[in-house]
Structure 1
Amino acid sequence: MIYIDSKENNTFKKIKKYRTKKYRDKEMRFLAEGVKFLDFDTVPEYILIDKNYSENREILEKIKKFEKSEVIVLSETLFSQLSSQENSQGVILVYEYMENDINNISDNVIVLDRVGDPGNLGTIIRTADASGYKDIILTKGSVDAYNEKTVRSTMGSIFNVRLYYIEEETLLNLLKEKEYKIISTVLSDDCIPYTEMQLSKKNAIVFGNEGSGIGENIVNHSDEKVIIPIYGTAESLNVAMACGIIMYKCRELLSK
């Protein structure tokens, strides 16, 4: 273990920059906080431990399997500058971005058009993982998947799905070229209930921004538009909830 108690330490200064999207993207590194992340097999570049937890048996036992990771003990003051949680568990991990080739996407993909809330995205990633989806395509303008709140909300599922950020026009060309059926969830008079949707051999299920929904251009290129009926007085469903309902319905239809 290495002990760091100076804010001028170059390694600490480098890692601290990963809290901002600009430097995350530049260095292709992100932070994940919590003991839960030590349960996964994905090997972190660094394991950062709060000095107050440096003798915690659970943490010490779990980090044994990460022989290639650099373990750093930080003073309480320095650790607090990296932590994003009020009640931290005393451990933060630094991972490399997962690079994926969008040309190898599976036959059934989730598309998120400008989803803006990190908690929603984290929940969607977790739900996609649970319902058996491997690929999530996000249009430019969507929230950063490596935002610390998003990473935490995935509960580790970020390691089990493949994420891609692309421009809207590139997305539409890709789906057309690969002959995907585009199914969009929208609120309009010409929608059909999601229970009546017809899946094809290859399907792209699209969900939109929390406030403005799916962009008009994507809607116009959709092969089918579906809606989740509202039986009560609520105006709409949270996008993460809507994703969960439709992803599981699609999984049901695909299993038949």
Structure 2
Amino acid sequence: MGENGAGQGRDRRALLDEGNRLREKYRGDGYTAAGKEALYQLYELQDAYRAQLPEVSVSRCPFTGVEVRWPLDDVDLDGWFWDWDKPARRLVNPVPRTWLAMGGAVRLAEPVTAAPFMCKPGPDAPYVIPQLLEVPEVRAVVAEVPIGRHTGWATTYFATIRPTDIPLENTWGSQKYDVYDTGGQWRAWSEHRRLLREYDFELRPWLESGKLLWIAPGDSGVTLREGVAECPYLDIDGERRRQRIHNGEINRF
């Protein structure tokens, strides 16, 4: 164990500041004794960060009524959870047996806190994946998930029968997704890079069809709602493009 211990009890900001310092030290020293020690200490801090991630309500299954809580960093996008290349995340195992995938989007509040890694939090408006929703056994739920000053939207997909012949959605803010069996136990991971044209930002038809449900912002009861009446996720302003953040600089593509 390095001089920082496992980082238990240290607040989020202290963990990130020290970890980012160690990251730069490792990059500068390389695979020397000092560099390796910095890397080991960074790993310990990341373990502590993972352990401290709060479980946030992101959805409720439309088939079983089970609430879904996910360990994610809802303080800001500068946390290692949002590191697109090497996210520090706690594996959810098991998931509800009907859980399939979770994508997301974020409306950024500028200026964005600088972080020394690439963050790709999704487009600037909520969307669905038609390829998934066109499967008869699949439904989805969209919910607002605040991330500090930013407005996030998680779209979670559920299925009574897990499709095995189509790629799923990379988990929100990362470049891969976890694969679970019919009992909700983790089995492997995979990845699929979708083109922007594979997203559908027009939610109205999916809401009207009943394939997409929603949860009202700030609803502590996480109540499922159907239809377009009073749905706050329609016609949200945005460029409908992906977003990439590095060192506080935003690029939309």
TM-score interval, smaller chain: under 0.3
Structure number having the greater helix percentage: 1
Larger radius of gyration: 1
